[in-house]
Amino acid sequence: MKALSISTSSDFVSVALHDKELLSVNTISSQKNHTELIYEMIEGQLINAEVDKEEIDGIVLDVGPGYYTGMRIGLSVAQGIAAGLGIPIIPVSSLDALALASFTGHRTIFSIVDVKRDEYAICSYKPVPGGVVKQMEPKVLKGKGIVDVFNEDREKKLIVGSWSKIFKDKENIDSHIKLANPTYVSAEHLYNVGKDSLLKGQYPSYADVVLNYMREPDITVPKEALEKEINWYDG
């Protein structure tokens, strides 16, 4: 089954195409997640992978936490494409995607996602054969609060995600803390979390795909400002 994956929850816009294996991926650093940019990236990946849009079986979408406006744009794009093609949307947590992509065998994994105003979503995971298991419900903390959490015990920890915005002085980091990749959510990571749901046909209706903001936005953006006319017709 061919899947299109989209992430717009951070400073990076990422799009990937899979058919069991990765066919094509493109990730761009962008402070402004313009709708036009995402459509251009999607079209580019279809061309690179030599895949027709009608062959896409589902969309794996980053539903956050992350940047409010970026996530809204990603959802609007995914809903428009999915409705036009009659395919499902598979929602995936950005925190889960980071944890699964970190590849560790013994350290507790902490995923961190910037949600702005020096606030970060954080969640911990235990590595198990073939994947990870969530150890806590995600919470939002200030940057200093996250450092305090990490220093509460001497357990070895692997930190992935937006850690560079918190640990600016790497020389003063305790030895039990390891800062690692990935440092942002890639659309490739999303697929690895959502592929089983797509293959098993276990996905919500469009109306039940909900973004995980985890904090109030600085500015409320009208939905109309995020929408763009979708033209999937050749011509």
User: How far is the C-alpha of 153 from the C-alpha of 156, rounded, in Å?
Assistant: 9
Long-range pairs, 137-142, Cβ under 8 A, ≥24:
138/65, 138/93, 138/95, 138/212, 138/214, 140/65, 140/115, 140/214, 140/215, 142/118
- Using pLDDT thresholds of 50, 70 and 90, give the confidence band for residue 222: low
Mean pLDDT, rounded, of the chain: 88
> What length does the chain have?
235
The architecture of the domain spanning 95-179 is 2-Layer Sandwich (3.30)
Contact 5, 15 (CB under 8 A): yes
User: How far is the C-alpha of 89 from the C-alpha of 58, rounded, in Å?
Assistant: 6
| Least confident interval from 33-37, 145-149, 174-178, 194-198 | 33-37
* pLDDT at 234 > cutoff 50: no
The whole-number average pLDDT for the span 148-164 is 88
Per the listing, tokens 């066919």 go with 23
- Using pLDDT thresholds of 50, 70 and 90, give the confidence band for residue 232: low
| Bridging pattern class, strands 177-179 and 157-161 | parallel
**Residue range(s) of every CATH 3.30.420.40 domain in the chain:** 2-93+185-226, 95-179
Top-confidence residue, 140 or 167: 140
The CATH superfamily assigned to 2-93+185-226 is ATPase, nucleotide binding domain (3.30.420.40)
* pLDDT at 235 > cutoff 50: no
Enclosing H/E stretch for 118: none
Strand segments (E) across the chain: 2-7, 12-19, 21-29, 56-62, 89-92, 108-116, 119-128, 131-134, 139-142, 157-161, 177-179
Cα maximum dimension of the chain: 61
CA distances, 90 to each of 46, 58, 118, 154, 204 (Å): 19, 7, 29, 37, 7
* Strand ranges across the sheet with 12-19: 21-29, 12-19, 2-7, 56-62, 89-92
Contact 58, 88 (CB under 8 A): yes
Determine the pLDDT at residue 149: 81
Q: How many helices (H) and strands (E) does the chain have?
A: 5, 11
Sign of the CA dihedral with 184 first, then 189, 191, and 195 last:
negative
Determine the pLDDT at residue 233: 43
> Which amino acid is present at 23?
L
| Bridging pattern class, strands 56-62 and 21-29 | unpaired
Determine the pLDDT at residue 169: 66
Contact 118, 138 (CB under 8 A): no
* pLDDT at 94 > cutoff 50: yes
Give the rounded percent of residues in the chain with a pLDDT score beyond 90. 72
